[in-house]
């Protein structure tokens, strides 16, 4: 939004876009599994408290630039005005159902804009693939094939470049475990977004409850010192 700019937010519904954190949620290979360990019990200690063990990229989370770039800012350095953004939701569920390796292209964005208008500058562009329905089944969610690669849809690097350079997007989000299609092990879209200073949100849910335009996302980030990312409580203020 920037200094000196005023934005009026009107909404009629609040929608949670974050999955519940619990043991057994899908984790990227090599990431620590989520665990909850009781530390204090109400009947014994007079209060209830758990110890949580999880990775920075467990569940619905934010990626910070230092996830891929040495010297990039950590999650604790993300500016507050990057955490409240107008949202655009691109629905690719039909294409993703037909092809789990679906890649969003500038042509797909063009077709969206023909119906709903240009993506406004400063938007969080959220890709609704329908993959949230597979959560928390890790096998179905990551969808590894015989080739050892994951097969789930995502943003193409060209689409991210177009949205950054031609539309001035500020953030990208998706309801899968990665901004890139699962088969892209170079993470090209993710790297393109983070190199530009945009925010990246992964493992979102309930995007199907939002209209294509008109919502505002509010991103609650754990400000982990030097963190490469952090679990996020993401809310949408829907019209």
Say how many CA atoms lie within 13 Å of 236 toward its Cβ. 27
Q: What is the pTM of this model?
A: 0.95
Segment 61-95, tens digit of pLDDT:
999 999 999 999 999 999 999 999 999 999 999 99
CATH no., domain 13-20+56-238: 3.50.30.50
- Tallying the residues shown for the chain, one arrives at 239
CB 56 within 8 A of CB 227: yes
Task: Say yes or no to pLDDT of 25 above 60.
Answer: yes
The answer to whether 89 touches 239, Cβ cutoff 8 Å, is no
Q: Which of 1, 230, 40 is nearest to 121 (CA)?
A: 1
- Per-residue exposure over 108-129, b if at least 16 CB sit within 10 Å of its own CB, e if not: bbeebeeeeeebeebbbbbbbb
Q: Which pLDDT tens digit goes with each residue over 139-148? A: 999 999 998 9
Q: How confident is the model at residue 5 (pLDDT cuts 50, 70, 90)?
A: low
pLDDT above 50: residue 199:
yes
User: In this predicted model, what pLDDT tens digit does every residue of 164-177 receive, in sequence order?
Assistant: 999 999 999 999 99
Distance separating alpha carbons of residues 15 and 13, to the nearest angstrom: 6
Which sequence spans correspond to the domains of the chain?
Answer: 13-20+56-238
Q: pLDDT above 70 covers what percent of the chain?
A: 98
**Can you say whether the dihedral through the CA atoms of 169, 173, 179, 182 is positive or negative?**
negative
Residue 61, number of CB atoms within 10 A of its CB: 29
Angle between helices 188-195 and 157-165 (to 10 degrees): 20
Shortest CA distance to 219 belongs to which of 125, 81, 83, 89? 83
Provide the β-strand partners of residue 224.
none
Query: What's the pLDDT score for residue 201?
Result: 98
Average of pLDDT values for 139-164?
A: 97
Residue 6: predicted pLDDT: 76
pLDDT greater than 60 at residue 3? no
């Amino acid at each position: 939004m920037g200094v000196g700019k005023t934005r009026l937010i009107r909404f009629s519904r609040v929608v949670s876009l974050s999955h519940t954190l619990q043991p057994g949620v899908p984790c990227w290979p090599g990431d620590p599994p989520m665990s909850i360990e009781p530390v204090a019990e109400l009947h014994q200690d007079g209060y209830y408290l758990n110890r949580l063990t999880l990775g920075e990229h467990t569940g619905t989370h934010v990626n910070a630039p230092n996830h891929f770039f040495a010297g990039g800012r950590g999650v604790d350095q993300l500016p507050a005005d990057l955490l409240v953004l107008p949202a655009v939701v691109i629905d690719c569920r039909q294409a993703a159902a037909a092809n789990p390796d679906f890649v969003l292209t500038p042509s797909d964005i063009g077709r969206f804009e023909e119906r709903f208008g240009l993506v406004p500058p400063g938007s969080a562009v959220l890709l609704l693939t329908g993959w949230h329905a597979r959560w928390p089944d890790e096998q179905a969610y990551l969808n590894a094939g015989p080739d050892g690669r994951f097969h789930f849809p995502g943003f193409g690097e060209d689409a991210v470049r177009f949205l950054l350079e031609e539309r001035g997007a500020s953030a990208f989000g998706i309801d899968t475990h990665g901004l890139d299609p699962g088969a892209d092990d170079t993470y090209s879209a993710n790297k393109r977004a983070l190199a530009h200073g945009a925010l990246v949100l992964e493992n979102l849910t309930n995007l199907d409850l939002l209209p294509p335009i008109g919502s505002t996302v509010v991103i609650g980030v754990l400000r982990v010192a030097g963190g490469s990312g952090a679990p996020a409580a993401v809310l949408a203020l829907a019209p």
